[in-house]
A and B are shown apart, each in its own frame.
Chain A
Amino acid sequence: MKNRLKVLRAERSWSQQDLADRLEVSRQSVNAIETGKYDPSLPLAFRIAETFAMSIEEIFTKD
Protein backbone atom coordinates (compact mmCIF):
# COMPACT_ATOMS: atom_id res chain seq x y z
CA MET A 1 0.00 0.00 0.00
CA LYS A 2 1.29 3.47 -0.90
CA ASN A 3 0.62 6.59 1.14
CA ARG A 4 1.10 10.36 1.01
CA LEU A 5 1.93 10.73 4.68
CA LYS A 6 5.37 12.28 4.19
CA VAL A 7 4.05 14.90 1.74
CA LEU A 8 1.03 15.76 3.90
CA ARG A 9 3.25 16.04 6.96
CA ALA A 10 5.73 18.28 5.11
CA GLU A 11 2.91 20.56 3.91
CA ARG A 12 2.05 21.19 7.56
CA SER A 13 5.69 21.41 8.67
CA TRP A 14 5.13 18.58 11.11
CA SER A 15 7.97 16.34 12.20
CA GLN A 16 7.40 12.61 12.52
CA GLN A 17 7.25 13.14 16.29
CA ASP A 18 4.59 15.88 15.87
CA LEU A 19 2.39 13.52 13.87
CA ALA A 20 3.11 10.65 16.28
CA ASP A 21 1.96 12.84 19.21
CA ARG A 22 -1.24 13.75 17.37
CA LEU A 23 -1.95 10.08 16.60
CA GLU A 24 -0.84 8.92 20.07
CA VAL A 25 1.60 6.42 18.58
CA SER A 26 5.39 6.16 18.59
CA ARG A 27 7.64 8.01 16.12
CA GLN A 28 8.81 4.58 14.93
CA SER A 29 5.21 3.78 13.94
CA VAL A 30 4.93 6.94 11.83
CA ASN A 31 8.28 6.18 10.20
CA ALA A 32 7.30 2.56 9.44
CA ILE A 33 3.97 3.63 7.89
CA GLU A 34 5.58 6.46 5.92
CA THR A 35 8.26 4.21 4.44
CA GLY A 36 5.70 1.54 3.54
CA LYS A 37 7.17 -1.04 5.92
CA TYR A 38 3.95 -1.27 7.91
CA ASP A 39 0.32 -0.90 6.84
CA PRO A 40 -1.83 0.56 9.64
CA SER A 41 -5.00 -1.09 10.90
CA LEU A 42 -8.32 0.38 9.80
CA PRO A 43 -8.87 2.22 13.13
CA LEU A 44 -5.40 3.83 12.88
CA ALA A 45 -5.96 4.66 9.20
CA PHE A 46 -9.18 6.46 10.24
CA ARG A 47 -7.26 8.37 12.94
CA ILE A 48 -4.66 9.41 10.36
CA ALA A 49 -7.40 10.52 7.97
CA GLU A 50 -9.11 12.54 10.72
CA THR A 51 -5.83 14.18 11.69
CA PHE A 52 -5.33 15.42 8.13
CA ALA A 53 -9.06 16.11 7.65
CA MET A 54 -9.11 13.91 4.58
CA SER A 55 -10.57 10.57 3.56
CA ILE A 56 -8.55 7.36 3.87
CA GLU A 57 -8.53 6.97 0.07
CA GLU A 58 -6.94 10.39 -0.34
CA ILE A 59 -4.01 9.30 1.82
CA PHE A 60 -3.65 5.57 1.11
CA THR A 61 -3.72 3.95 -2.31
CA LYS A 62 -3.14 0.42 -3.58
CA ASP A 63 0.31 -0.33 -5.03
Chain B
Amino acid sequence: MVCTSNQQAQRAYLKRMGISMAVYIAALFTGEYLLSRDLVDGPVVWLLGLLPGLAIVGAFYAIAKLITETRDEFIRMLIVRQTLVATGFALSLATIWGFLENFELVPHVDAYWVAILWFLGFGIGAVSNRITYGAWGQLR
Protein backbone atom coordinates (compact mmCIF):
# COMPACT_ATOMS: atom_id res chain seq x y z
CA MET B 1 0.00 0.00 0.00
CA VAL B 2 1.30 3.46 -0.91
CA CYS B 3 0.28 5.98 1.72
CA THR B 4 0.07 9.61 0.69
CA SER B 5 -0.40 11.07 4.16
CA ASN B 6 0.32 10.32 7.80
CA GLN B 7 -3.40 9.81 8.37
CA GLN B 8 -3.47 7.09 5.71
CA ALA B 9 -0.44 5.42 7.29
CA GLN B 10 -2.20 5.59 10.66
CA ARG B 11 -5.41 4.11 9.26
CA ALA B 12 -3.50 1.28 7.57
CA TYR B 13 -1.62 0.66 10.83
CA LEU B 14 -4.80 0.50 12.92
CA LYS B 15 -6.40 -1.85 10.41
CA ARG B 16 -3.39 -4.20 10.40
CA MET B 17 -3.10 -4.08 14.19
CA GLY B 18 -6.84 -4.70 14.57
CA ILE B 19 -6.70 -7.76 12.29
CA SER B 20 -3.63 -9.11 14.14
CA MET B 21 -5.29 -8.70 17.54
CA ALA B 22 -8.55 -10.26 16.33
CA VAL B 23 -6.67 -13.29 14.94
CA TYR B 24 -4.62 -13.48 18.16
CA ILE B 25 -7.69 -13.54 20.43
CA ALA B 26 -9.57 -15.97 18.19
CA ALA B 27 -6.56 -18.30 17.91
CA LEU B 28 -5.87 -18.19 21.64
CA PHE B 29 -9.45 -18.97 22.68
CA THR B 30 -9.93 -21.61 19.99
CA GLY B 31 -6.67 -23.31 20.95
CA GLU B 32 -7.44 -23.24 24.66
CA TYR B 33 -10.96 -24.58 24.07
CA LEU B 34 -9.92 -27.43 21.78
CA LEU B 35 -6.81 -28.48 23.73
CA SER B 36 -8.44 -28.39 27.17
CA ARG B 37 -11.10 -30.81 25.89
CA ASP B 38 -8.63 -33.05 24.02
CA LEU B 39 -10.53 -32.47 20.79
CA VAL B 40 -7.40 -32.25 18.62
CA ASP B 41 -4.02 -33.91 18.29
CA GLY B 42 -1.07 -34.25 15.92
CA PRO B 43 -0.33 -31.52 13.35
CA VAL B 44 -3.46 -29.55 14.31
CA VAL B 45 -1.94 -28.92 17.75
CA TRP B 46 1.13 -27.49 16.00
CA LEU B 47 -1.09 -25.23 13.93
CA LEU B 48 -3.01 -24.07 16.99
CA GLY B 49 0.25 -23.47 18.82
CA LEU B 50 1.69 -21.43 15.95
CA LEU B 51 -1.34 -19.22 15.27
CA PRO B 52 -1.21 -16.88 18.34
CA GLY B 53 2.50 -16.29 17.81
CA LEU B 54 2.02 -15.60 14.10
CA ALA B 55 -0.71 -13.10 14.98
CA ILE B 56 1.78 -11.24 17.21
CA VAL B 57 4.27 -11.33 14.33
CA GLY B 58 1.50 -9.56 12.41
CA ALA B 59 1.50 -6.82 15.07
CA PHE B 60 5.27 -6.39 14.64
CA TYR B 61 4.74 -6.25 10.87
CA ALA B 62 2.09 -3.53 11.36
CA ILE B 63 4.63 -1.41 13.30
CA ALA B 64 7.34 -2.01 10.67
CA LYS B 65 4.95 -0.92 7.91
CA LEU B 66 3.94 2.14 9.95
CA ILE B 67 7.59 3.18 10.03
CA THR B 68 8.07 2.75 6.28
CA GLU B 69 4.73 4.38 5.36
CA THR B 70 4.84 7.40 7.70
CA ARG B 71 5.88 10.35 5.56
CA ASP B 72 6.41 12.82 8.42
CA GLU B 73 10.12 12.39 9.20
CA PHE B 74 9.87 13.65 12.78
CA ILE B 75 7.01 11.29 13.67
CA ARG B 76 8.86 8.46 11.89
CA MET B 77 11.96 9.20 13.98
CA LEU B 78 9.85 9.06 17.16
CA ILE B 79 8.41 5.65 16.23
CA VAL B 80 11.87 4.29 15.35
CA ARG B 81 13.11 5.59 18.70
CA GLN B 82 10.23 3.80 20.43
CA THR B 83 11.09 0.51 18.75
CA LEU B 84 14.74 0.88 19.81
CA VAL B 85 13.72 1.47 23.43
CA ALA B 86 11.30 -1.47 23.23
CA THR B 87 13.94 -3.80 21.75
CA GLY B 88 16.62 -2.77 24.24
CA PHE B 89 14.19 -3.11 27.16
CA ALA B 90 12.85 -6.54 26.15
CA LEU B 91 16.22 -8.05 25.21
CA SER B 92 17.94 -6.72 28.34
CA LEU B 93 15.31 -8.10 30.70
CA ALA B 94 15.11 -11.41 28.79
CA THR B 95 18.91 -11.83 28.92
CA ILE B 96 19.18 -10.97 32.62
CA TRP B 97 16.24 -13.26 33.45
CA GLY B 98 17.75 -16.05 31.35
CA PHE B 99 21.00 -16.05 33.32
CA LEU B 100 19.18 -15.80 36.65
CA GLU B 101 17.07 -18.77 35.55
CA ASN B 102 20.24 -20.64 34.59
CA PHE B 103 21.53 -20.18 38.13
CA GLU B 104 18.15 -21.37 39.45
CA LEU B 105 17.56 -18.06 41.19
CA VAL B 106 14.23 -17.28 39.51
CA PRO B 107 11.42 -19.48 38.17
CA HIS B 108 11.05 -20.35 34.47
CA VAL B 109 9.08 -17.86 32.40
CA ASP B 110 7.50 -18.68 29.03
CA ALA B 111 9.37 -17.16 26.08
CA TYR B 112 6.31 -15.28 24.75
CA TRP B 113 6.76 -12.86 27.66
CA VAL B 114 9.55 -11.25 25.61
CA ALA B 115 6.88 -9.96 23.21
CA ILE B 116 4.83 -8.61 26.12
CA LEU B 117 7.96 -6.89 27.47
CA TRP B 118 8.59 -5.46 24.01
CA PHE B 119 5.17 -3.83 23.90
CA LEU B 120 5.71 -2.52 27.43
CA GLY B 121 9.01 -1.08 26.20
CA PHE B 122 7.17 0.47 23.26
CA GLY B 123 5.07 2.39 25.81
CA ILE B 124 8.18 3.39 27.76
CA GLY B 125 9.65 4.63 24.47
CA ALA B 126 6.59 6.85 23.98
CA VAL B 127 7.10 8.37 27.45
CA SER B 128 10.79 8.87 26.64
CA ASN B 129 9.80 10.63 23.39
CA ARG B 130 7.41 12.90 25.27
CA ILE B 131 10.09 13.88 27.79
CA THR B 132 12.84 14.36 25.19
CA TYR B 133 10.97 15.72 22.16
CA GLY B 134 7.63 16.92 23.54
CA ALA B 135 5.63 14.42 21.44
CA TRP B 136 4.61 10.82 22.17
CA GLY B 137 5.11 9.10 18.82
CA GLN B 138 2.83 6.07 18.47
CA LEU B 139 0.51 5.30 21.38
CA ARG B 140 -1.91 2.73 19.97
Contacts and interface: CB of A to CB of B under 8 A. Distances in A.
Per DSSP, chain A at the interface is: loop
A17 interface: no
A35 to B, nearest CB: 7
Contact of B133 (A24, A38, A41, A44): A38
A44 to B, nearest CB: 6
Contact of B73 (A31, A35, A37, A41): A41
Contacts of A40: 73-74
A28 B74 contact: yes
Contacts of B26: none
A32 interface: yes
Determine the interface band of chain B, counting residues with CB < 8 A from chain A: 10 to 19
A3 B20 CA distance: 43
**Range, interface on chain A:** 10 to 19
B109 interface: no
B134 A33 contact: no
Nearest to B74: A29
Given A35-B134, A37-B133, A37-B134, A28 B73 contact: no
A8 interface: no
Interface of A: 24-26, 28-29, 31-33, 35, 37-38, 40-41, 44
